[in-house]
Structure 1
Amino acid sequence: MCDHHKTTDKGRLGSALEHGEAHERDHRAWSRRTFLRNLGIFSGGAMMLSQTPVTAMANSPLAWGLTNSTGDRILVLIRFKGGNDGLNTIIPLFDYGTYQMSRPNIHIPQSELTTLGPDFGMPNFMSDLQPMWQDGQMKVVNSVGYPGQNLSHFRSTDIWTTASDSDVVDTSGWLGRFLEGQYPDFVTNPPDIPPAVQIGGSGTFLFDNTDGNNMSVQVEDPDTLLEIAQDGELYDPVNVPECYFGEQISYLRTVANNTFRYAEIISETYNSATNDVDYEGQLGNQLALVARLIKGGLGTKLYMVTLDGFDTHANQPNQHANLLNNLANSVKAFYDDLATADRAKDVLAMTFSEFGRRIEQNASNGTDHGAAAPLLLFGPGLNGNGFLGDHPDMQDVDNAGNLKYGTDFREIYASVLENWLCVDPGIVDQVMGGYFDRLPGLGLTCSPVPVFEAPVYQLRHWASYDGRSQVGIHYVLPKGANVTVHIFNMLGQPVTTLFRGYQPKGQHQHTFQSAGAKIAAGYYVYSIEVQGQAYSRKIVMTQ
């Protein structure tokens, strides 16, 4: 008899923490969404289906410079999942009395601090970062947040990863939008290397494009990525129940392995390099893999890793100390490892978390959800240590009693895009959805790279649904051109050609319908070919 429960995902939903009904509901909603998003892990990846690959990418001038540039710069995002307590990470020596009185049981004693200047210190369990600070490879931006702080884990994570206003619901990530225009035909002509690699962090929109397709190689844990790197395979298609259900699982796993087209290059890269230092703990295992892929020459410029466990409502001291100790020794090991291959200078690392914690400790020797917190940056490219942003003011708080933000996190994002990844300022504003001040104090300078122009020919295209088993394919031609509009199924097989011929400048529409035709319900892809370039998007047909 076939037991469906014997086949499970590697990741499991965690139960909600017992610290209040509202918080518990937040965790349940987060877990459900994470699970549902994981079901579609391959929907946005490059799928070389049959002999005719298809795509789901729109075209824009975004990130052309990054794609074609000869520069080696890399951005690594370190996510603190759960909401990091900033006051116990970078301690305010300038107002230590208020800090101590607000946290009688969980403050860090002055005798256990490493000084970072007259105003701030960090706990001794983060002392592995002291050499980086002394060498000018660490900076701190204080009081980072955004207007209208939302204290929900998943909503605030959405805001941080989409870079939207707090009252705007967006489903595309700031780096997903950044990557979206690199390859207008991402699947029919996919890049040789993955645009981004993401370990953990499912349920976030960081690398999702405006179609909701994830532009990264996304795995839930380093062990999964290690399996891909070592074996070139994600799922075992053989070890399944001996029944029809098992046959279905085997088929889906085989398709998944085939569509995970970057497995081979990841495996080759991983096996061509070594780690030359020892790593420890949750974050260390992830950064060890990233270092090996960088040293092996993968060429991917964007990475995200995740350190989980920052939701410290109870018994915070030991838990938080262990997390920050893991951060410190992992980041130090990471840069020491990169230095053995002369790659440390090419890598900027930046932390982020959904929010900080309250100023006062709670009754459980923990801290509840707060607002502003420090953001940490690492790497030789910072050209010196230092503090930016407003000092956290524990006397002047917001209406909820939380620290006020002084630096909008989007100012940091915009600064990194323009001054580290060397993206044109106008494109940066396009990605961010508006202008945000740049932070010159970060010390980042754009390296001399070739200037690349965006494609001369741009195409705006979209699909519309009328509820009668038909889909409208729309596009706007900036000038007259020869056009071909194809429909493919998800096996990469051609279904029909809707149009082939010359069309004048302006908006055009063609209809794909199932009525009167043998068109099964399900997903399809349209491909619009204009002057040798294809533009495509996934669509769904209903009966």
Structure 2
Amino acid sequence: MCNHHKPTDSIPHGSALEHGEAHERDHHFRSRRSFLRNLGLFSGGAMLLGNTPVAALANNPLAWGLANANTNRALVLIRFKGGNDGLNTIIPVFDYGTYQAARPSIHIPQSELLNLNGAFAMPNYMSGLSDMWQDGQMKVVNSVGYADQNLSHFRSTDIWATGSDSEVMDTSGWLGRLLEGQFPDFITDPPEAPPAIQIGGSGTYVFDDSMGNNMSVQVEDPEALYEIAQNGELYDPLSVPECYYGEQIAYLRTVANNTFRYAEVISQAYNSAENSNDYPNNLGRQLALVARLIKGGLDTKLYMVTLDGFDTHAGQANQHANLMNNLAESVKAFYEDLAAANRSEDVLCMSFSEFGRRIEQNASNGTDHGAASCMLLFGPALNGNGILGQNPDMHDVDDAGNLKFGTDFRQIYATVLEKWLCVDHSTVDEVMGQYFERMGGLGISCAPTPVFDLPAARIRHWAAPESREETAIYYVLPHGAEVQVEVFNMFGQPVGKLFRGWQPAGQHRQAFRASAVRLAAGYYVYRITVQGQAYSGKIAFAR
């Protein structure tokens, strides 16, 4: 029997629970969820049905595919996992006395600062970024956050990943929704190259679509991705015992193929290029792999790498210094490597973290969970250096004594979608769920042709269980159309044709009963084809 615990979704403003039981529960639940997502049991992912996509077994419409991506641009997210201390990343020299007084043991001495613009500096252990700053390849956005900051790692990570308001519980990621528009039939007709690759990003919804499919190749350890790139092996979901246990093994292997499906194309790109210089460990090994895949011609446009260890409640000074030194040296090596292949202008890097840290140090020479922090952007595409956003004000704080935010993080997301990935203005608002003012001063501009070629119109569809043996498939047609609704098992075999014919505009429902066709418990895939464009999703039956 399993014991279920409710996660600590929120820690009240001003609470001291960061060091207490709630803080430990929060970390425990996050670790448990990460474990489940690594198995594919949370997101499910796209399914390799047998060794052939369902599309090859059915009437295959024109696939969108990443061949529709018209430029070589890529976006690399650098996740600072644990809550980065913005005040010790970009030091407010303009109010250094207040900063020093609040942090008597962990402030960065003025003699160890590298000046940026007179008002701000960075620690000298970040000197690897000095040339990028001088060459106009680095920008900082200060005071980034959101209204009603949640101080839970778990909940705030979800907010940053989904782009939701703090009181809204969403499970689709901001980039997952973008990819969902690009690949509406992702489950049954996946593209030839992975839409996204994330390393060490488990437990986040960044690349999850509205139905919980993780649309990325996801590995917790970069060594696993190296193994895929070097050896390119697939699990065989067909070579299993002919029994219920075998069915479950087949399912788990099929889920695992969500990662290994792309082994061959990843391996081809990896072996088509080499890194031109040395990288440090940790973040460096992740970025070295990303650089090699980009240089090798992989058509993936979205990457996420992870630098862990920012939950600096104790002994922050050395720990944070090591992390930021690793960031600086890794990013420097990454862009030098890309430049050697004339690819540096095609790649934009952007950091994010679930929250900042408190202004004052604590009794353990660390800092507790805070609110607003800075975001860092890197790349020649920025067309100049600069420090943007509202200056952190250590005197005008929120009710919990934390820095107030001046720039909503979703403004930066929306700007990057429109100005870097070249997504249509109205589609950006649709992806983000509402309008956010675009961030001025980033220096990025849209390419002559879109990075993503999104369908002009999409239909909403979902499945809802109505009993242990019956699931209803719903879809909304914007206009009358020819429609076909089918169900497949995990091996790509059709197990039910629910409807074929013309239907008027509006919401429609098709019922599917597992007992009617004597199906075993497990996962299945439905596919709705509307005038040649297919949409797919997952359904499950229990006995």
Shift of 1:249: 9.4
CA distance in 2 between partners of 1:89 and 1:285 (Å): 22
Match of 2:40 in 1: 40
Q: Which amino acid aligns with 1:36?
A: L
- Count of residue pairs the alignment pairs up: 514
Match of 2:444 in 1: 444
Correspondence 1:420 to 2:420: yes
What SS class does the counterpart of residue 197 from structure 1 fall into? strand
Pick which of 349-358 and 259-268 moved more: 259-268
Match of 1:29 in 2: 29
Match of 1:501 in 2: 501
After superposition, residues 123-138 of structure 1 pair within 5 angstroms as 123-138=123-138
Unaligned runs of 5+ in 1: 1-16, 56-63, 238-243
Match of 1:70 in 2: 70
Shift of 1:534: 2.0
Shift of 1:531: 2.5
Q: Which amino acid aligns with 1:143?
A: S
Report the CA distance shift for 1:258/1:453 in structure 2 as closer, same or farther (over 3 A). closer
What SS class does the counterpart of residue 463 from structure 1 fall into? strand
Deviation per residue, 1:466-500 (Å, 9 max, x gap)? 22521122233344433322111112111121223
CA distance in 1 between partners of 2:248 and 2:468 (Å): 32
Q: Which amino acid aligns with 1:477?
A: L
Contact conserved, 2:66 with 2:195, CA < 8 A, in 1?
no
Unaligned runs of 5+ in 2: 1-16, 57-63, 238-242
Shift of 1:67: 6.8
Q: Which amino acid aligns with 2:179?
A: L
CA distance in 2 between partners of 1:303 and 1:172 (Å): 17
CA distance in 1 between partners of 2:126 and 2:401 (Å): 28
Match of 1:386 in 2: 386
After superposition, residues 221-240 of structure 1 pair within 5 angstroms as 221-233=221-233
CA distance in 2 between partners of 1:435 and 1:323 (Å): 35
After superposition, residues 300-319 of structure 1 pair within 5 angstroms as 300-319=300-319
Shift of 1:459: 3.0
Match of 2:531 in 1: 531
Q: Which amino acid aligns with 1:503?
A: Q
Q: Which amino acid aligns with 1:89?
A: T
Contact conserved, 1:471 with 1:512, CA < 8 A, in 2?
yes
Contact conserved, 1:65 with 1:453, CA < 8 A, in 2?
no
CA distance in 1 between partners of 2:138 and 2:457 (Å): 42
Structure 1 runs (4+) deviating above 6 angstroms are 64-67, 234-237, 244-250
TM-score normalised over the length of structure 2:
0.89
Report the CA distance shift for 1:456/1:409 in structure 2 as closer, same or farther (over 3 A). closer
Match of 1:49 in 2: 50
Contact conserved, 1:65 with 1:423, CA < 8 A, in 2?
no
What SS class does the counterpart of residue 337 from structure 2 fall into? helix
Report the CA distance shift for 1:361/1:50 in structure 2 as closer, same or farther (over 3 A). closer
Report the CA distance shift for 1:65/1:188 in structure 2 as closer, same or farther (over 3 A). closer
Q: Which amino acid aligns with 2:50?
A: L
Match of 1:3 in 2: none
Deviation per residue, 1:171-217 (Å, 9 max, x gap)? 00000011101122224332111100000010000000000110100
Match of 2:434 in 1: 434
Deviation per residue, 1:72-129 (Å, 9 max, x gap)? 1110000000111111110110010111111111110000111001101100000010
Pick which of 372-381 and 451-460 moved more: 451-460
The percentage of counterpart residues that share the same residue type is 68
CA distance in 1 between partners of 2:348 and 2:248 (Å): 41
CA distance in 2 between partners of 1:109 and 1:258 (Å): 51
Match of 1:14 in 2: none
Contact conserved, 1:138 with 1:382, CA < 8 A, in 2?
yes
Shift of 1:162: 0.5
CA distance in 2 between partners of 1:265 and 1:66 (Å): 13
What SS class does the counterpart of residue 194 from structure 1 fall into? coil
CA distance in 1 between partners of 2:298 and 2:487 (Å): 33
TM-score normalised over the length of structure 1:
0.89
Match of 1:279 in 2: 279
CA distance in 1 between partners of 2:479 and 2:246 (Å): 50
Contact conserved, 1:358 with 1:370, CA < 8 A, in 2?
yes
Aligned-CA RMSD value: 2.6
What SS class does the counterpart of residue 181 from structure 1 fall into? helix
Match of 2:462 in 1: 462
